[in-house]
Amino acid sequence: MPIVKSLIRKMEMTFIHFSGPVFSQVSDWVRLEQNVKNGESQTFYKRLSNLTSSEEVLSFISTMETLPDTMAAGALQRICEVEKKDGDQGLPKEILENSIFQALCFQLEKEPSQLSNTSLVTALQALILLHVDPQSSLLLNLVAECQNRLKKGGLEVRNLCILGESLIRLHSSGCVTLELIINQLQGEKLETFTPEDIVALYRILQACAEKVHEHQTFLNKINNFSLSIVSNLSPKLISQMLTALVVLDQSQAFPLIIKLGRYVVRHVPHFTNEELRRVLEAFIYFGYHDRFFTKALEYRVAAVCLTLDPEVVCRVMEYCSRKQILSKPILNAVAETFVCQSEKFSPSQISALMEPFGKLHYLPPNASALFRTLENVLSLISIIFHPKHY
């Protein structure tokens, strides 16, 4: 019988709370063997990457004769990856109550001091992304062990970055712990950071924005180095970096903003609604505009305007209005979208959407339908919200 299944048989009931369900705990856990060869490890991760559901992952690890902590953390990370594809929800109850999943979590909780740095922070990151109860003994033990190693200065760059972002998501740590992470990262060579690490560093600094003046020298160094990695950033990382630059008010980093703007152009078709909104807000904040970006934006808006989030549509219009960009493809698409889907927009969004038409002195081809729809919406609003009389 595989060792994972045999261990589950030994479980005695006790209480660990994970967003509601009750979890079992092992009374006499036998440590899983750690001497898996590199070839076996590679086979494991290759097989794991091909699994597309939590059930498949749990079924796979239940057949393992041994499951080192690095593989246990990897399995938990894969569960996180397949679950997050369906949105930002927590784990289904049937997964939380699955005996294999419980055994997997308990293995990581039992002796966190024995976990490798990578296994420790990977497990913590996955559990937080899966919305495990922050007060569960599992998460509390992992966080405590991470903080203990942090104070001893025993975490590598990648692990420091993952820990910082995890603590931000957990909302359990103020700037004190994050400051310790920042101080340790300052002592590392930026050349050893991956693009993901650099963006994580920006986001950690963003979480301590009120102390940005204390880190400006370090930020200047990061801004200058980031010029060399822009071409390697994904759409998600570019949008996150731009947002951090806004929050940190890095107007002096305009060479970086210009280079990000040039590379944004190729990613416009691939941005999610949220990522595009962040990019537009950054460009509006820094006063940046580029005719190639505008052209790419025209193609995107004209093609998918009906599927864009109302807030993104408003940011598109604000971008055109602020920079006095009379883009007929964008204005026409937005006008058509409002006529077809006026119910999607709030009163404040309608105001933001309509203002650029007047400011740019432009009447779209469907002007009569646009203003008729606007009148109907305003009539409905006036019925629901009566004006105050003073």
pLDDT band for position 93 (cuts 50, 70, 90): confident
Angle at 138 between CA 133 and CA 141, to 5 degrees: 120
DSSP-H helix ranges across 34-173: 38-49, 54-61, 69-84, 93-96, 99-110, 117-129, 137-152, 157-170
Whether 123 and 4 share a structural domain? yes
Please say which residue of 202, 235, 268 terminates a domain.
268
Residue 312 has pLDDT above 90, yes or no: yes
Helix, strand, coil: what percent of the chain each, to 5? Answer: 70, 5, 25
Q: Is 280 part of any domain?
A: no
Q: Which residues pair with 26 in a beta bridge?
A: 11
pLDDT band for position 131 (cuts 50, 70, 90): confident
Helices 117-129 and 137-152: angle between axes, nearest 10 degrees: 140
pLDDT value at position 13?
Answer: 34
Please say which residue of 152, 168, 184 terminates a domain.
152
Mean pLDDT of the chain: 84
Q: Is 112 part of any domain?
A: yes
Pick the more confident residue, 383 or 183: 183
pLDDT value at position 272?
Answer: 94
pLDDT band for position 79 (cuts 50, 70, 90): confident
Q: Is 66 part of any domain?
A: yes
Whether 116 and 23 share a structural domain? yes
Angle at 79 between CA 194 and CA 308, to 5 degrees: 70
pLDDT band for position 172 (cuts 50, 70, 90): low
pLDDT value at position 54?
Answer: 87
Average pLDDT rounded to a whole number, residues 153-182? 87
Whether 113 and 212 share a structural domain? no
**Distance from C-alpha of 45 to C-alpha of 324, rounded to nearest angstrom:** 52
Whether 359 and 372 share a structural domain? yes
Q: Is 168 part of any domain?
A: yes
Whether 357 and 307 share a structural domain? yes
Whether 251 and 166 share a structural domain? yes
pLDDT band for position 17 (cuts 50, 70, 90): very low
Q: What's the whole-model pTM score?
A: 0.82
Average pLDDT rounded to a whole number, residues 377-386? 68
Whether 58 and 46 share a structural domain? yes
pLDDT tens sequence across 201-224:
999 999 999 989 999 999 999 999
**φ, ψ (nearest 5 deg) of residue 368:** -60, -45
Whether 8 and 147 share a structural domain? yes
Which residue matches tokens 């399995």? 75
pLDDT tens sequence across 26-36:
222 223 333 34
Q: Is 45 part of any domain?
A: yes
Q: Is 182 part of any domain?
A: yes
pLDDT tens sequence across 341-362:
999 999 889 999 999 999 999 9
Q: Is 273 part of any domain?
A: no
pLDDT band for position 374 (cuts 50, 70, 90): very high
Question: Using only C-alpha atoms, what is the Rg of the chain?
Answer: 25
pLDDT value at position 95?
Answer: 85
Whether 221 and 365 share a structural domain? no
pLDDT tens sequence across 250-298:
999 999 999 999 999 999 999 999 999 999 999 999 999 989 999 999 9
Q: Is 98 part of any domain?
A: yes
Residue 192 has pLDDT above 90, yes or no: yes
Give the residue numbers spanning the domain of 32. Answer: 1-152
Residues sharing a CB contact under 8 Å with residue 266, sequence separation 6 or more, in sequence order = 296
Burial 280-305 (b: 16+ CB within 10 A, else e): bbbbbbbebbbeebbebbbebbbeeb
Pick the more confident residue, 10 or 304: 304
Q: Can you read off the two tokens belonging to residue 178?
A: 């994050």
pLDDT value at position 226?
Answer: 97
Tally the domains of the chain. Answer: 3
DSSP-H helix ranges across 227-309: 235-247, 254-267, 273-286, 291-304
Helix, strand or coil, per DSSP, at residue 262: helix
For CA atoms 333, 335, 341, 347, the dihedral sign is positive
Please say which residue of 152, 171, 195 terminates a domain.
152
Q: Are 120 and 149 in contact (CB under 8 A)?
A: yes
Whether 258 and 293 share a structural domain? no
Whether 11 and 29 share a structural domain? yes
Residue 116 has pLDDT above 80, yes or no: yes
Average pLDDT rounded to a whole number, residues 219-237? 96
Helices 195-207 and 235-247: angle between axes, nearest 10 degrees: 30
Whether 170 and 233 share a structural domain? yes
Q: Can you read off the two tokens belonging to residue 297?
A: 């934006």
